[in-house]
Amino acid sequence: MLKGKVALVTGSTSGIGLAIARTYAQDGAHVVINGFGDKDAIEKERSGIEKDFGVKAIYSGADMSKGAEIAAMIADAEKQLGSVDILVNNAGIQFVAPVEEFPVEKWDQIIAINLSAAFHAMRAAVPGMKARKWGRIISTASAHALVASPFKSAYVSAKHGIAGLTKTVALETAAHGITVNAICPGYVWTPLVEKQIPDTMAARGLTREQVIKDVLLAAQPTKEFVTVEEIAGLALYLTSDLARSITGAILAIDGGWTAA
Ligand code: NAD
CA 66 to ligand 1: nearest atom: 18
Chunked in runs of 10, what are the mean pLDDT values of the chain (260 residues)? 97 96 98 98 98 98 98 98 98 96 98 99 98 98 97 98 99 98 94 85 93 89 93 98 98 96
117 CA distance to ligand 1 middle (Å): 12
Distance (Å) from CA 15 to ligand 1 centroid: 7
Which of the following is catalytic: 24, 59, 155, 187? 155
| Residue 238 resides in a domain | yes
Ligand 1 atom having least distance to the Cα of 231: 30
- In short, whether 4's Cβ falls inside 6 Å of ligand 1 is no
Q: Are 14 and 191 in contact (CB under 8 A)?
A: yes
The answer, yes or no, to whether any atom of ligand 1 lies below 6 A from the CB of 255, is no
Range of the domain at 71: 6-187+227-259
Nearest partner of 84 among 191, 2, 171, 16, judged by Cα: 2
Q: How far is the CA of 162 from the centre of ligand 1 (A)?
A: 14
With a 6 Å cutoff on the Cβ, whether 254 touches ligand 1 is: no
Q: At what angle do helices 15-26 and 228-237 cross, to 10 degrees?
A: 50
Q: Say if 251 falls within a structural domain.
A: yes
d(CA 45, CA 14): 10
Share of the chain above pLDDT 70, in %: 100
Q: Is 190 in the pocket of ligand 1 (CB under 6 A)?
A: yes
Instruction: Say if 174 falls within a structural domain.
Output: yes
Q: Output the CA 113–ligand 1 centroid distance in Å.
A: 9
Kindly state whether residue 129 falls inside one of the protein's structural domains: yes
Q: Does ligand 1 have an atom closer than 6 angstroms to the CB of 93? A: yes
* pLDDT score recorded for residue 5: 98
**175 CA to middle of ligand 1, Å?**
31
SS3 assignment, position 250: strand
117 found inside a domain? yes
155 is catalytic: yes
> Within a domain: residue 198?
no
CATH of the domain at 31: 3.40.50.720
Q: 201 in a domain, yes or no?
A: no
Number of domains in the chain: 1
Contacts of 244 (CB under 8 A, 6+ apart): 177, 179
Q: How far is residue 6's CA from residue 10's CA, in Å, rounded to a whole number? A: 13
Ligand 1 closest atom vs CA 112:
18
Residue having the nearest C-alpha atom to atom 23 of ligand 1: 192
Residue 219's pLDDT is 87
Q: What is the pLDDT of residue 17?
A: 98
- 173 within ligand 1 shell (Cβ under 6 A): no
**The pLDDT value given to residue 124:** 98
Beta strands in the chain, from DSSP E residues, in sequence order? 6-9, 30-34, 57-60, 86-89, 135-140, 178-185, 250-253
Is 71 a member of any domain? yes
